[in-house]
Structure 1
């Protein structure tokens, strides 16, 4: 019997041993944290979050932060952790208040028994919990319950704090309106990345988006415009004030209160922007007496330049209006900052306005530049009286900076340098690094954007301070902000595409210590983070995976050298030529490719057998005029010269990005090009490659004519194409073919390409060409 009992005990212990599992350990490669913490130590083992795990909350005021994790677990795991004020030593996530820790900092220690998160403020706990979130398996972001997932986080010690106090993102809801639900979703994502400022661009020419009780027409009239969404932003025509306006929307004051309360829960400040004195045609459309001329205008549906319809700086009624508006705005937004714009004001009307000229004389001002300074300083005094700080774009430097203003430097870094030298706080937001309405990949594969280029790695290269700044100047640099202007961004899905992953790059740059910033390391982590974005249902861009081809032609041998790369280092690039299919088994790209006749190349980045990002599909089509002498009757623009006199016969084609260096441009004159084939040649067709981007003033030709000659003196016309203008909302490349009735034996080809004579807005048009193929 004794032996039997011993046997039973052995079996029981063996069973327990089989069912117990050791918590797994992690490697640093398993950690996907963005932004990178200030310091991190990875230990053996891990902590498992289960249904019995408790969240220990020391104060009722911190109770809501538990939702950062519990909202995720409720959906993805099917349970919520119990919250309690009573501390327990095991299987708990304990929040502990430590007054010695800086406001936005936190300390996190994870062991197999518990998680200790220390901070001195609610925002510190928010950031610590967001770090725990990123340490969890990416499946925690699932919208529905997942199976076969153990919710482990690695045993780790993190000490973390931000490098800069201002880490922001601006959304323009004026050019295109975004619903409240998307704004709240965006706030969640800012907190996820430890960004702490949401700049709410509520007012612009094309829409007034905030309800002001005292002036209801601001939203009734100013909140809507005539629907011209089928046209390119800058090709939209002027609206009649009497025409029905149906496109737009606005936030009620209750909506604003809800958004502000939501941001406060996430530890994010909101800065409203109420533009002045320019970018206010929506307000003038509602109340014409706000302008110098008092003429009725409509809310514009698209781009306006120059911006001459601005607030009258001479009338007292203008300042009464603005103080009324700002009073209601301050009641809704409790934060320190109010952004008042101050940019791009063309003061033409001020020059002739009796009220403005009287103001200049009475205030002993030198000119309209000083009148704008007077305008902004007066608004600043009103804000200061209400314990608020004015922020303006760097144009507020002109004519004299308001005494306590903070400058947002967007036209490069120079305005920021100047403002810090004068002792003012500065937020850096240069177009070169932080304008997210710019293309992040080739326009051939991207949704429409502003015609400039800002790839992911360039965002990561941003640094808010300049080496040339003194120690004192650097103290005035608060941080950085990314701006997403919405002229070309009409949907929340498109907005996400423009923001992610670039917003993650900014988040790391303004949070992590500079010595920890490393593009190669970030490029590994962001690729893993994209998998989490996928589950979070973020429509992020894969542009950094796209192939970036470089090609050049040897005009003596006629051979083209092709180089392939992607923005991410160490990627697997495969390619296929001509009729071959591009697959995971295609040729691995190792060295440059050289071609000497018609060649189609398809290439893409592969990962685990799947194509990542856009596929390059490019054809190099040789023809009888390649590298032949070319003469021009009218010289092309020096700004758009491409590779010079052989640009139109070098096989290298342009993309939809007109600044890619492959396009030759003419403004207000035709392109008349003569090609010498150098010997008698049989020709039957000429093809002209052209670009149209109506928003930037580039239009397809209205007429193309081909003339031929044997001696270069006597020419005869053999082909003529006329075309009418057609509205085109995006960028488009067209190959205009001109076939001859019979094949011709000639040496000279003259092609005359007439630009569009008059654009919809009046005036001439740019003509852009990349190749003239002779076949």
Structure 2
């Protein structure tokens, strides 16, 4: 489709006949076109307005806002990554011909849906002299760079001349991730922030403590002490010794600090949540004396409960760089409304006294039920069985963040909730007609939704919960829950007017240009064959695919077109992981049922696990084993295939073939088990570490 046609799409659906109403980006960008185009190929430099180079946005959600210069530096890197332009960066007070000039402009035009000024607004001007991005703040200018890159990607570096003023309708836009019941490495958090940022989403809410469901009807207290529960922050504070028992599945202060800073450099604020007094089994296992009969519920009336929570928060408040922190306060035991209110208000007063943070809680008890929490606390609505956000909170003067179960996802399996975002509801989810928006708490009954311009609606986050624990999903499977729908939702969270078929047309094109991440685990290749090792030389491992991904031998020998593994030698490749839709084929002849066949940062294929000789895939520290053992001292042809969210292994030996699928066994609330599929990346970084035997004909293909 030609550039002109792409912009005409925006025009046609706006009903205008003269000027283009918007750029076809995600979210859409208001834009009035003049005649002519401008090519980014003409740009000679990026210029940061020296008068504002060190300015920061003091109105946003983070306590560590980047400067205008820092945002420009990230933009410079993104231009190279996304559209292949390597452009120099400098400072000056004025633009020069063929430059991208980034500046600050104080304007009354930057307003949200409630008519309030917002620091996230920007103006985009494109002429035959270059581009000017004028932000209400450095953050606003940053969002302008997202529009510019997307327009360049859609138009093949050609930009329409004209101008547009843009601002988000709501201040909080993004996603929620349950990291309490499944661990996500800090690198994954950073990549997710890059994903969010490209579509102008500015909040990543990370749930840092939780537990599997405590089935009080069948669990004894001894059993409750063994249920999976986790606290993801690792502290050396002696007063918290024993709270976190999972050092390898935790964030140190430096790791969490780096993640927050890397996210902030892309305009995304990490909102941390430590859950209590419900969903607090990890605290109950640490201090059983503080719990009710259900050990996931803290006994608020116990004299040490609130002091214990104050100790936890005092230790970790200095870690957090968001203006808002979340204490959970979700699904507490009914009948304890007054205790609950005292807990919430006491924690609010403590947090405000100890820090500059404000506080948020989940909607649990309403004013009509007797809850009387401080009005400076914001609510996060998630389910109508708990509250009615409009009538219970907004009508009573509370600010509310919308995380309604309309877009509530549960990783891998649920008998109540989906695993991916519903695109149809995104584009048609307003019961009053039209697309979803953050003021739509109820997608079925319009009377439960405040007006679009209601100032008490803070915004919207889509939530992914991991109700069934760490072995239910891999790390990247969480990303795939968000992948196809979250950008579309970002358009609505911002206030855009993208149509569903427009989104379907441009999404994959834009997706391939998202900088700062490779969540698809894509690998560049000149053909379907990504890598091919024939081991036809005794001195080196040449890649016969034509991609140049030659391997490096670390102590191994090549003999008769096979590589021999012994004495902890291995083969190193320049690759790490291959995402979905791949086939990794090889022939293997093990002398022992031990060692690692292939390993990468996302997964490892093992020739036996623990005392078992069964072939096992490891991902996220969890084993997924087949009921199959590779025969010793015999050549077996193996084909490992990732097909969408399924992973298979086909083996052929002695004239017989068998295909098996890697599955996970999920425990469902202590009542039953469910076997489900696993989508696991191909591990490629090393081959044969600890393995004893031979391999030949290693081939990786994109399917």
TM-score, scaled to structure 1 = 0.54
The corresponding residue for 2:479 is: 496
Q: Matched residues in 2 for 1:429 and 1:46: separation?
A: 41
The corresponding residue for 1:630 is: none
The corresponding residue for 2:305 is: 318
Asked if 2 retains the 8 angstrom alpha-carbon contact of 1:57 and 1:95, the reply is: yes
Deviation at 1:498, TM superposition (A): 0.5
* SS of corresponding position for 1:474: coil
Matched, 1:435 2:408: yes
* SS of corresponding position for 1:107: strand
Matched, 1:401 2:372: yes
Asked if 2 retains the 8 angstrom alpha-carbon contact of 1:119 and 1:125, the reply is: yes
Unpaired stretches in structure 1, ≥5 consecutive residues: 1-22, 140-149, 225-245, 294-306, 348-366, 439-446, 542-611, 614-691, 701-726, 733-775
The corresponding residue for 1:378 is: 346
The corresponding residue for 2:694 is: none
Deviation at 1:419, TM superposition (A): 0.4
Instruction: After superposing the two structures, state which structure 1 stretch, 208-217 or 101-110, moved more.
Output: 208-217
Deviation at 1:290, TM superposition (A): 3.2
Deviation at 1:47, TM superposition (A): 2.8
Matched, 1:93 2:62: no
Q: Matched residues in 2 for 1:222 and 1:450: separation?
A: 31
Deviation at 1:164, TM superposition (A): 1.0
* SS of corresponding position for 1:730: strand
Structure-2 change in CA distance of 1:399 and 1:53 (3 Å): same
Q: 2:333 aligns with which of 331, 335, 346?
A: 346
Q: Matched residues in 2 for 1:194 and 1:380: separation?
A: 30
The corresponding residue for 1:475 is: 455
The corresponding residue for 2:533 is: none
Structure-2 change in CA distance of 1:137 and 1:522 (3 Å): closer
Deviation at 1:340, TM superposition (A): 1.2
* SS of corresponding position for 2:339: helix
| Structure with bigger gyration radius | 1
Q: Matched residues in 1 for 2:31 and 2:389: separation?
A: 30
Deviation at 1:320, TM superposition (A): 1.4
Structure-2 change in CA distance of 1:134 and 1:260 (3 Å): same
The corresponding residue for 2:29 is: 37
* SS of corresponding position for 2:459: strand
Q: Matched residues in 2 for 1:34 and 1:286: separation?
A: 46
Structure-2 change in CA distance of 1:337 and 1:215 (3 Å): farther
Matched, 1:730 2:680: no
The corresponding residue for 1:211 is: 234
Structure-2 change in CA distance of 1:371 and 1:86 (3 Å): closer
Structure-2 change in CA distance of 1:266 and 1:530 (3 Å): closer
Q: 1:455 aligns with which of 397, 418, 422?
A: 422
* SS of corresponding position for 1:370: helix
* SS of corresponding position for 1:278: coil
Q: What do residues 460-492 of structure 1 show as CA deviations (whole Å, max 9, x unaligned)?
A: 323332553566992211111111113466333
Matched, 1:421 2:386: no
Deviation at 1:420, TM superposition (A): 0.4
Say which structure, 1 or 2, has more relative contact order (CA 8 Å, 6+ apart).
Answer: 2
Q: Matched residues in 1 for 2:439 and 2:95: separation?
A: 45
Deviation at 1:428, TM superposition (A): 1.1
Unpaired stretches in structure 2, ≥5 consecutive residues: 10-22, 55-67, 111-117, 212-228, 430-435, 441-445, 523-579, 582-663, 679-703
Deviation at 1:182, TM superposition (A): 1.1
Asked if 2 retains the 8 angstrom alpha-carbon contact of 1:408 and 1:428, the reply is: yes
* SS of corresponding position for 1:729: strand
Asked if 2 retains the 8 angstrom alpha-carbon contact of 1:409 and 1:427, the reply is: yes
Q: 1:161 aligns with which of 164, 167, 170?
A: 167
Q: What do residues 683-704 of structure 1 show as CA deviations (whole Å, max 9, x unaligned)?
A: xxxxxxxxx997558999xxxx
Asked if 2 retains the 8 angstrom alpha-carbon contact of 1:342 and 1:396, the reply is: no
The corresponding residue for 1:389 is: 358
Deviation at 1:436, TM superposition (A): 3.1
Q: Matched residues in 1 for 2:267 and 2:326: separation?
A: 19
Deviation at 1:257, TM superposition (A): 1.8
The corresponding residue for 2:433 is: none
Asked if 1 retains the 8 angstrom alpha-carbon contact of 2:194 and 2:514, the reply is: no
The corresponding residue for 2:283 is: 283
Asked if 1 retains the 8 angstrom alpha-carbon contact of 2:666 and 2:674, the reply is: yes
Deviation at 1:136, TM superposition (A): 2.0
Structure-2 change in CA distance of 1:151 and 1:526 (3 Å): closer
TM-score, scaled to structure 2 = 0.59
Deviation at 1:215, TM superposition (A): 4.8
